[in-house]
Amino acid sequence: MRRITLWFILAVLVQLAILAVLPARKVYALMTGTRVFLKVAPVDPYSIMSGHYMSLSYDVSRPGDGRRRGTASPQNTPLLQSWEDLKDNKKVYVILQAGPSGLWEAQAVHTSRPKNLAPGEVPIRGRKTRRGIKYGLETFYFPEAVRERINDDLRSHPNDASVEVKVDAFGNATLVRLMIQDRVYE
């Protein structure tokens, strides 16, 4: 085989490797992750490159906001009230636990992967930004055909949107489906 053919095969393999590496974490989380449900607050921009998508933010994107009046003691909730003081782009692990409504809530924020978690607790990895903590779950793509229906559903039930997420053992998360009241979008 000529040398250029070998180099060409290598170049094609590089392109395939790029395509394989891009979704690798997401696929692993989908295959092995723990199922978690999060409450969302959506907006709806438009992307030429990837069709229609929503930019999502979650209650857990700003952990502690809903718990400032709660009873949790600072010892059990490290950084829950002070994560905003961390440097931007800092890696954090937010401990999630299922709430009474079935939606999961942030219990604590750590700057390293926590060990000895209580049963039912799931650590999800994120990065602190100026606009809250980002988990890589902030984009949901949907088909053009359902755009209007999603818009209508969101307008009708602005407080009833949630997502199903899979979180793997390393804290990587992937978005599985969006639910608005009783309607499911995948």
Q: Shortest Cβ distance from residue 162 to other proteins (Å)? A: 15
Query: Three-state DSSP class for 164?
Result: strand
10 versus 43: smaller Cβ distance to other proteins: 10
16 versus 184: smaller Cβ distance to other proteins: 16
Q: Shortest Cβ distance from residue 42 to other proteins (Å)? A: 13
∠ CA 30-34-36, rounded to 5°? 100
80 versus 168: smaller Cβ distance to other proteins: 168
Q: Shortest Cβ distance from residue 11 to other proteins (Å)? A: 4
52 versus 183: smaller Cβ distance to other proteins: 52
Judged by the rule CB under 8 A, the positions of this chain that interact with other proteins are 4-5, 7-8, 10-12, 14-16, 18-19, 22-23, 26-27, 30, 47-53, 134-146, 174-175
Strand order in the sheet with 104-110: 104-110, 91-98, 121-129, 132-134
Q: Which residues of 46-67 are buried (b: 16+ CB within 10 A; e: fewer)?
A: eeeeeebbbebbbbbbebbeee
Instruction: Name the β-bridge partners of 121.
Output: 97
Q: Shortest Cβ distance from residue 23 to other proteins (Å)? A: 4
∠ CA 70-76-79, rounded to 5°? 85
